[in-house]
Structure 1
């Protein structure tokens, strides 16, 4: 993570000063609050809920949302810079921030004024932690295949929801779930979104998945068995759930890309520091081209990935057409996560045998990088999105 002011805020302006202060706060929190705890929490597989509350109290969970509801009123580019900083110290926490910020999007963008006033302040402040229930056992990137169904009981004023959601991050620790469900019709036209409280009878998170990495952030299926969700918790118009999902995908892919840049930057810095101090044949191993060129390539790719992410974020902030933003977000996610996988793998290689043991964090970063190539649409799906945009 660099300390540069994101493009669009001229040096010396009040906005630039605010952004610098915000990034400085993020770095301080990352160094003092995240770094000392990551090994312990990852080893135990414990979710750092209190830490998320702390990030909420200082305003990092509502950065891209309106000030009037308790948000930070920041551009998405600024928010992604903060996310990159957090990911460079603890990916699972950065992921949790990204997950929660995304869970606020349906209400913030599509909710009614009354709904926003009622729920959004507690969400943006971190008092309520959220999750999105989109994927299902037989429906991943194909949102039109969602089978979870919601039947409106008009007399009772509730939707009765049945189905199973898969791969839900924050399952079991979230206070609310955005449930993408079928309220009528086939394909993407029949989807809607319900903001379901986690304590709704019939909403049952299952056993957390046993994952390769990111152990401190739970992922599980959520079963909805005749769950009764109040009709006033329908977000946006009935049957417009796909539009909400599309906006989530663009923002989610940019969030993952920023996390990938942060992880790759951490791997680069760690491998470089190690190589400067590791001596073989009476000289530091950075004197050998085999290592020096590896680090040079890592540095170049990390910088390129960051540039792609920032470019896509600016397109989103400027309100460019959805199709343009979608393609740019897909390119950023594809490239940045592939860079993170290469950078962490190369960092393990630079450390040699030491890179393969848990005394150093690079082996964990390598396992975590793999996840980023899969979630928010696999990188094969990103290539499909990009190809269709050409």
Structure 2
């Protein structure tokens, strides 16, 4: 992609990015349109990316991680998103589902499950939202009741990506107290009795990534599967939120860059009135604005990633990043459709799919209105 930095990189990183670019070119791009049209989850391909180490990048080597910075990981996500957003999202979801266990889990549970999750052998998912409560975790009604060395979970979770294909779920439940003070997180096996994925949501875009409600009808989970302390699950969730916003931002930058590259290439080839349409000021200025917005979003993303790598707080900065990058992706993909004119509105070109996919990024990991609230509160 044309917008990436040419700053000299260590040999290990160059080899990693070359591998990712090859996988994107050879494995992702030829399949994306067909799988999206069919709504088919590319499970074998996602697990392949896990075997190649892409899901383990930002985790310590002692658990089977890649020991890479979060900046390097986000650059990988950006590259994947430029070829197939659903696959980039799948890798991102897997990494998010590993964060709670890696940061708050017991050593025994980490040793048992984390290496298998980081390798993609076990696909994972987060279950936070609910049909009535939405993303208001304080209004969560799914309950986990202590019983003979287990907790029994009952309730329904909504908008679970990887639903039906995940092997394990991080399930956030009410274990006591009220509002945000009484939540706990459990790592639940997908084949547990009483756990049932419901029908997949019929989405506008990113159709190859399965999303559904999941019903929990008296699901028994050993107490040892609790992630973090009892009634302190909001700490786990907050940790996941910060990382989630950065991952979505990287997806947005990658998607926007793909749209710009496609639009610019089309504008150089398409002729009207005897010359390429990129030579017309109205269109060339539109492309210039697209390029500038992407450059700003990328700069913001990696400045926040640098703060993360330095161990500094990033909650407010991650909210700014998610807000700006996803709004940029929406503008750029919409403008890419405009550049292609009538062709951009057809499914013969990928820009219409990218525009539909960009809309989702403004909603995931907290809507952009929620991001504005978080930013305003930080002031």
Name 1:381's counterpart in structure 2: 370
Aligned mates of 1:187, 1:74 — CA distance in 2: 36
TM-score (norm 1): 0.95
Q: What CA RMSD, in Å, does the superposition of the two structures yield over aligned residues? A: 1.1
Deviation readout 1:83-119 (Å, 9 max, x if unpaired):
0000000000000001111000111111111111010
Counterpart mapping for 1:75-114 below 5 A: 75-114=69-108
Q: Does the aligned pair in 2 maintain the 1:141–1:377 contact within 8 Å?
A: yes
Aligned mates of 2:61, 2:6 — CA distance in 1: 21
Find out whether 1:254 has 2:246 as its counterpart.
yes
TM-score (norm 2): 0.98
Higher mean alpha-carbon deviation, 346-355 vs 22-31, is at 22-31
**Change beyond 3 A, Cα 1:5–1:252:** farther
Aligned mates of 2:211, 2:52 — CA distance in 1: 26
Aligned mates of 2:90, 2:252 — CA distance in 1: 14
Name 1:230's counterpart in structure 2: 222
Name 1:183's counterpart in structure 2: 175
1:299 aligned residue (271, 291, 295): 291
Count, aligned residues: 378
Q: Does the aligned pair in 2 maintain the 1:5–1:19 contact within 8 Å?
A: no
1:139 aligned residue (108, 124, 133): 133
Aligned mates of 2:70, 2:231 — CA distance in 1: 27
Name segments (4+ residues, structure 1) moved above 6 Å: none
Matched residue SS, 1:168 = strand
Matched residue SS, 1:4 = coil
1:163 aligned residue (149, 155, 158): 155
Note the C-alpha offset of 1:5: 6.8
Name 1:46's counterpart in structure 2: 40
Deviation readout 1:49-89 (Å, 9 max, x if unpaired):
00011101110011111111111111111100000000000
Matched residue SS, 1:121 = helix
**Change beyond 3 A, Cα 1:23–1:245:** same
Matched residue SS, 1:270 = helix
Find out whether 1:281 has 2:273 as its counterpart.
yes
Name 2:234's counterpart in structure 1: 242
Name 2:115's counterpart in structure 1: 121
Note the C-alpha offset of 1:146: 1.1
Name 1:327's counterpart in structure 2: 316
Note the C-alpha offset of 1:138: 2.1
Note the C-alpha offset of 1:4: 3.4
Q: Does the aligned pair in 1 maintain the 2:128–2:135 contact within 8 Å?
A: no
Specify every segment of 5 or more residues in structure 2 that has no aligned partner in the other structure, as ranges.
none
Deviation readout 1:313-341 (Å, 9 max, x if unpaired):
111111113xxx01110011000000100
Aligned mates of 2:378, 2:229 — CA distance in 1: 28
Note the C-alpha offset of 1:141: 3.1
Aligned mates of 2:5, 2:119 — CA distance in 1: 27
